[in-house]
Structure 1
């Protein structure tokens, strides 16, 4: 494509029109149209013949400018090819932001094609592509409804991912989970017409530092016999958002060639209702040997994660990290945009939060508050899967998971939402990536290619 077919999008800080290197015609055009660089405003600029020559894009004042500001331009631009000029800031982050703002989920409903970005000259093109592809992968999977992404179809997607990335894949399905000593994964998924399973993927030099990622893969959650309301069930296609984001993170790690041995464990189930459903009051064994009393069948995610974390922990990885759309309490505490981060490694938590702020992928450390452990006491089993009284629900869920990690050098739990209830810069409404850029940023520093 020739440069003449690529339309400039010129970033202008609010109040800096006069010093923005725009020619007199463009400055007068902006002034006559009331454009002063207001945050998020686009203004089309004609040439001498009345044809489109550029768009001005307001970034607002320099102080307080959101990192993903460039996404607003992509969200509002029509189909076409564009390049970024002017006060774009970090060109790599600007290119990531623009590309994330251009995301469209059009599998079921056609729409206008997305704008296409010509990579800024000083941007790290490989980094832009890998992080955008990682986010798109997570978003596409979360947005796909459960009738097209049940456990069988999700396994096919994961197998295709493994093939593309030259990963070894082991699949344990149905009653084989019992033989493999993964009884909690089996119990949660056994009522579905599509069998529960664990997908175990590995990549990299076996002698390199071990990093293991675990993602909750509940393709649909009815709540089980403690059935959700219609409103509560409406978004439950997104309950595999942890697994989707882990796959996106794995893509970024492999594409960057980080010097680590990667293992990905994805317990994939549907929490359905049938005569074989597990029940409130049941006592179930776990891989670790702890018995679990079922206080609530809708607290199923922590059950499948418990077996997967135990399996991961057995080889004592240097870092063990899980992502899960685990609790509504996390949203009550921090809202949909800020996932809670749990770890006993405070320096790692600080590193993750700093990387998240730098890449507009924020996380916030919450306490693993030991005294709350007693909320999950059971009179007749080692632990109950649902905290008593409803207090501190995200913390007690994290404390439940912590019981199944002993040998890992460090463990991190991210209680993500995986959904944007309304559009904001870089995140369209619907399924969304959370934690990918933050975790990748830390892993890139620790295990550089």
Structure 2
């Protein structure tokens, strides 16, 4: 089994790493040598979250270190350590940890050791943790880092074809089947909105469908918005708004990574993964404001704004998912700026038409410290999507933007079908310990925990 970044099997030279919370500091200090206590006092070490202090041996070498953590259940409480401790050092917990704390330490260490390295070598290597991480912890780290890599990669190297390549690699690794419908074949097989959004690009739009699992297992459908770059179309974004639109395939990255995790951990489900992969470009064949598109479901949509394209590519994919009568559909999308205004970058907006499904995800988010926040499917706001010439418009008001986007998607969900939609930012604007600037997996760990609880029974 390959090791995630920041891990080593070598334990011979591993230094002791003390993990201390503020409320446990006094008791831990009482067991240390007077010299170490004086040294910690000199550094004003208070075991606050994100704090680190090295301990010195008599000969001046490193004797160990202590890190402060506020919440042992939060993997990110440990994520500062790999780059706060000296490069080239190897560490192991000084005190015995219970299984949950050990897993959280390992997960945080793996997340905190990450640096995007495709185009530039990292300035330094992380300190390493000598730990036999479980296969599940390794698979979760891999899934999270895949999201970061895919979302951070510029569109030139992460277009619709590269999303297909990523899906194909997952399929080949886990014995899944892959079907791709691309270009004008989308029209022939009735995916008109995916085609309309992506047809102006020199890179063909496509629907990527991965299938895996045994026929007798519950059917889980994961759907991802794969807008590999979003200019806004003819309703073009300003430069500031377009700058990071390589990340507009963040929903697809989450769906792909979660599918990989489901398969790697052999969750007893029959999995269908659908990714609508397009580039919303500007060209002679761009779709236009005022156009009316007849969707796969037969609902006519007036294009109010070409920058509300994510819901257009998703609506055909969701309709197709519903045709297969899955137990549950979950879609991931970097869908609205309104969700970020309401909840900020770290808290994805969850919409669900099934209370039990929403509750399971909320509880998993609390347990894993990988939260979601449920938002209402307030159906009276469908009035903001009224069209005078079609069944519905794809936009139309600045009011309740995240809610109206989710309501638009719900129009394409079959009656009685259990469905959840996650409006996720998928991005860190600034470097923080364990969270480097760039792509980020949000609510991926809690989604996995929820699915385990839902299907491992």
Per the normalisation by structure 1, the TM-score is 0.94
1:417 matched residue in structure 2: 425
Query: What per-residue deviation string (whole Å, max 9, x for no partner) do you get for residues 354-394 of structure 1?
Result: 111211211000000010111111111111000x3310000
2:219 matched residue in structure 1: 210
1:434 matched residue in structure 2: 442
Q: Please state how far the C-alpha of 1:84 moved relative to its aligned partner.
A: 2.8
Q: Does the alignment pair 1:97 with 2:105? A: no
Runs of 4+ in 1 over 6 A off after TM superposition: none
Query: What per-residue deviation string (whole Å, max 9, x for no partner) do you get for residues 140-167 of structure 1?
Result: 0000001111112222222112211221
- Looking at structure 2, the residues matched to 249 and 65 of structure 1 have their Cα atoms a distance apart, in angstroms, of 21
- Looking at structure 2, the residues matched to 425 and 83 of structure 1 have their Cα atoms a distance apart, in angstroms, of 20
1:57 matched residue in structure 2: 67
2:289 matched residue in structure 1: 280
Q: Please state how far the C-alpha of 1:113 moved relative to its aligned partner.
A: 1.9
Q: Does the alignment pair 1:241 with 2:241? A: no
CA contact (8 A) 1:83 1:118 kept: yes
CA contact (8 A) 1:313 1:407 kept: no
Query: What per-residue deviation string (whole Å, max 9, x for no partner) do you get for residues 316-353 of structure 1?
Result: 11000000000000001111111110012112212101
- Looking at structure 2, the residues matched to 53 and 382 of structure 1 have their Cα atoms a distance apart, in angstroms, of 70
CA contact (8 A) 1:320 1:408 kept: no
Q: Please state how far the C-alpha of 1:207 moved relative to its aligned partner.
A: 1.8
1:36 matched residue in structure 2: 46
Residue segments in structure 2 that go unaligned for 5+ positions in a row? 1-8
- Looking at structure 2, the residues matched to 267 and 4 of structure 1 have their Cα atoms a distance apart, in angstroms, of 49
2:369 matched residue in structure 1: 360
1:317 matched residue in structure 2: 326
Q: Cα RMSD over matched residues?
A: 1.9
CA contact (8 A) 1:323 1:413 kept: yes
SS at match of 1:242: helix
- Looking at structure 2, the residues matched to 308 and 103 of structure 1 have their Cα atoms a distance apart, in angstroms, of 32
Per the normalisation by structure 2, the TM-score is 0.93
The one of 130, 137, 141 equivalent to 1:118 is: 130
**Structure 1 stretch displaced more, 351-360 or 418-427:** 418-427
- Looking at structure 1, the residues matched to 198 and 334 of structure 2 have their Cα atoms a distance apart, in angstroms, of 17
- Looking at structure 2, the residues matched to 82 and 437 of structure 1 have their Cα atoms a distance apart, in angstroms, of 25
- Looking at structure 2, the residues matched to 171 and 15 of structure 1 have their Cα atoms a distance apart, in angstroms, of 55
SS at match of 1:216: strand
The one of 314, 318, 327 equivalent to 1:305 is: 314
1:46 matched residue in structure 2: 56
CA contact (8 A) 1:319 1:408 kept: no
1:107 matched residue in structure 2: 118
CA contact (8 A) 1:317 1:408 kept: no
The one of 391, 405, 414 equivalent to 2:413 is: 405
* Aligned positions of 1:375-386 closer than 5 A: 375-386=384-395
Q: Please state how far the C-alpha of 1:272 moved relative to its aligned partner.
A: 0.3
